[in-house]
Chain A
């Protein structure tokens, strides 16, 4: 039914196919025939994990096709831009059990494979009324289009699958939805634990006349939630936690969408927020509602009745001015911006040893200032790479307090910068043992390589031949003269014992 295309063959019986630059027979489109929908999904998943589905989406169409015997199959069609793209599609489709064809309008011939590296041409065209005719080396079949399946609908209808517990992880950013009943409590809870979260209220109109009210949900955008809070929220009835995969779509935590959504972000373009729940329900919030920090939404115990008790104050003449020193106090807030460490004199040998083990990236970013009794280390990307000394958090620009502590009164960073005077651009370290902070000049900090690593004096190596060892000429010296030279010579009477069958040095 098919014949192999030859190199430099330019005329084909299959309409709309031509050889490309590599000589591969290629039409304007490529189609993949799948026996069932799940094979199509598997193929899309595999393709999306390897490359980007976005490049296919502009020309992608999925149709259910029927044969004259009413057998239904799935046909994926996309633009065959080049044989390289078709090779990639073919390799993935074959893996999922699909058959790959190429053509332009109605007649599609089998795409190249190992048996015919340049592709195929039909021996005879099938003259049948059909929407599409596929020519394979084992069959040729006419199909009629049954219905078209939009790719976005397919994505929305697919139910996420569970991720094995071993592969689960807690991302740094989360979305969560909460029913109205628990939403308010969740706002208070997140505020109490000082989790950076924003909340909004989404509304949908009633889906039927039997719904008594519009459907409402709290939607949370949570940053860096501790794992225990995430775990609690996932177990809370009425609350669903989602892992954002892109800017405007997320899949419920612990689930994975059958299609790699990251590779087809274009279907989620726009203002809508799309959340895929594990039970298959898709929440589309269109447009995405405005989010507000939870600290703004937490309930205050303010009663209007007590407003009258507010007394109006007047300026007095007495000198009530006072100054408060800044103090360090323990803080339960999670450690943030831990970018410095101070290594004491006693720990200095350990630091020296550890520098040999540090990875190159840490060494390149680490800056060091060596003081009389301590060593200051700074790494703007985080000081976790140096597990030594007392860690410091940067609470304002170049102002550091020990990690786990904060300055009270809790003044704003900008105010703090103004308060710490006379530092001339230096780095200010607050120390719990001393009331006065220490200022380390910015010029004292330098890269590790400049500060501690000794200069290397290179030994000039010449590429000449190695010097020839020329020992001095040996001198000889006789021993004491003996009157009877052979007296006392041991083994004098003993003949030479033969060692092995000694070969004789016979001359030729």
Chain B
């Protein structure tokens, strides 16, 4: 079999057995690692499974449109394929059969391939690109492995992420098997791998997710050291995406994301960022709080408002700081009077609970940020880095 045939088979397997079920919620098959050099073929290849191809397009479009309106998604594209290949290899690393003689050496090489692929992914250039990446990577942390342990008086079978022949467990000579089934998610599997091998698989997952700024913002629980990078700020410069991210964060739990966002706001590099860039980071925190306040009746604050954590407090201080800053009044002036009363109520409660030091820290940031001039009303504003 020639290399071209092999590459086409690998491409078909990646599309039909990995990406399509990952997006549609089926069973993902992870078989053999994909070398980074395969992208030269993949980026020009056409899948033999047109149904899977169309299915992927539909799910990418649906996932992207859940955040912000897009007309189409760039599938297949080099960056999306590189992300899929990296995700595939990263998931493959969790295969326990790689921890065997002769196979163990492949683990390091596959991890290096993941790094190479992640490095090769360019920052998103358009709104559709940014959202398609999110649609592709969003289901990845939720990918689960099914482990079955079957025990009898004589034998214990472990089927780790693999199918098994049920007739094996039906032989009367072995007695009756008690089966226990567990599901383990990919982040947990990678953590477990890191504990066993100190490979840095979890770090690689975070780096992979960081190539999709939207996913990174929505899965802040996986990104301990989240910072507002240029790619992230570039994505946040699109009002539609920023609004969509704010809504999604509120839906997933505003106060779960608050500490990470607050910590990113304390990043000293951000303090020296250009005023326009700074605005997008602050505007996200502001819009999340506005959405949380106005989308549900009442100020939508937890029963016990604990702002002793400086990171959470920093996030919470953005809203009062916006209200205190007279240059940002235009943001509030457009509100309905009832809405404005709700927001002011929340503002007052936050201001009362916030440590003064945090307010003094955030206020200069809000004063320094500079809201960009309104753009022409294009139907679809695309992200440009």
- Partner-B contacts on A (CB < 8 A): 468-469, 471-486, 488-500, 502-508
A477 and B37: CB pair below 8 A?
no
B229 and A491: CB pair below 8 A?
no
Residue among A474, A475, A495 with the most chain B CB within 10 A? A474
Name B120's closest neighbour in chain A (CB-CB): A496
Name A507's closest neighbour in chain B (CB-CB): B229
Question: Which residues of A sit under 8 angstroms from B106, Cβ to Cβ?
Answer: 484-486
Question: Which residues of B sit under 8 angstroms from A469, Cβ to Cβ?
Answer: 62
Interface size on B, residues (CB 8 A): 73
Question: Which residues of B sit under 8 angstroms from A476, Cβ to Cβ?
Answer: 27-30, 91, 143-145, 161, 186
Of B62, B210, B233, the residue contacting A508 (CB under 8 A) is B233
A505 and B32: CB pair below 8 A?
no
- B138-180 CB mask vs A (1 if < 8 Å, else 0) is 0100111110000000000000111100000000000000000
- B41-85 CB mask vs A (1 if < 8 Å, else 0) is 101000000000000000100100010000000000010000000
Residue B122, interface by CB 8 Å: yes
Question: Which residues of A sit under 8 angstroms from B43, Cβ to Cβ?
Answer: 499
B229 and A497: CB pair below 8 A?
no
Residue B10, interface by CB 8 Å: yes
| Complex alpha-carbon distance, A469 and B161, angstroms | 27
| Complex alpha-carbon distance, A302 and B120, angstroms | 119
B161 and A478: CB pair below 8 A?
yes
Residue B270, interface by CB 8 Å: yes
Task: Supply 15 A–B pairs (Cβ within 8 Å), ascending by A.
Answer: A471-B25, A473-B25, A473-B143, A474-B28, A476-B145, A477-B163, A479-B31, A482-B97, A482-B103, A483-B103, A485-B110, A486-B109, A488-B32, A491-B37, A496-B117
Q: Which 9 A-B pairs have the closest CB atoms?
A: A494-B37, A479-B31, A471-B25, A491-B37, A472-B25, A481-B97, A490-B6, A502-B122, A485-B106
- Partner-A contacts on B (CB < 8 A): 3, 6-7, 10, 21-41, 43, 59, 62, 66, 78, 91-92, 95, 97-98, 100, 102-103, 106, 109-110, 116-117, 120, 122-123, 139, 142-146, 160-163, 183, 186, 210-211, 227-231, 233, 267, 269-270, 272-273, 277, 385
A491 and B161: CB pair below 8 A?
no
Name A500's closest neighbour in chain B (CB-CB): B122
B229 and A505: CB pair below 8 A?
yes
A474 and B25: CB pair below 8 A?
yes
Of A471, A482, A495, A499, the residue contacting B139 (CB under 8 A) is A471
Number of A-B contacts (CB under 8 A): 160
A508-B122 CB under 8 A given contacts A479-B29, A490-B6, A491-B41: no
Name B229's closest neighbour in chain A (CB-CB): A507
Of B23, B109, B120, B123, the residue contacting A503 (CB under 8 A) is B123
What would 4 more interface pairs be, CB under 8 Å, given A476-B143, A477-B27, A492-B35?
A476-B29, A476-B145, A505-B231, A508-B272
A503-B385 CB under 8 A given contacts A473-B144, A474-B144, A490-B3: yes
A479-B273 CB under 8 A given contacts A474-B142, A485-B103, A490-B10: no
- CB of B199 to closest CB in A, whole Å: 15
Question: Which residues of A sit under 8 angstroms from B186, Cβ to Cβ?
Answer: 476
| Complex alpha-carbon distance, A480 and B62, angstroms | 33
Question: Which residues of A sit under 8 angstroms from B100, Cβ to Cβ?
Answer: 481, 483
| Complex alpha-carbon distance, A504 and B121, angstroms | 9
Residue among B35, B211, B228 with the most chain A CB within 10 A? B35
A508 and B28: CB pair below 8 A?
no
| Complex alpha-carbon distance, A352 and B122, angstroms | 62
Question: Which residues of A sit under 8 angstroms from B22, Cβ to Cβ?
Answer: 474
- CB of B209 to closest CB in A, whole Å: 12
A489 and B30: CB pair below 8 A?
no
| Complex alpha-carbon distance, A459 and B117, angstroms | 51
Question: Which residues of A sit under 8 angstroms from B211, Cβ to Cβ?
Answer: 505
| Complex alpha-carbon distance, A468 and B183, angstroms | 25
A496 and B27: CB pair below 8 A?
no
B142 and A492: CB pair below 8 A?
no
| Complex alpha-carbon distance, A491 and B41, angstroms | 9
Of A478, A488, A502, A503, the residue contacting B30 (CB under 8 A) is A478
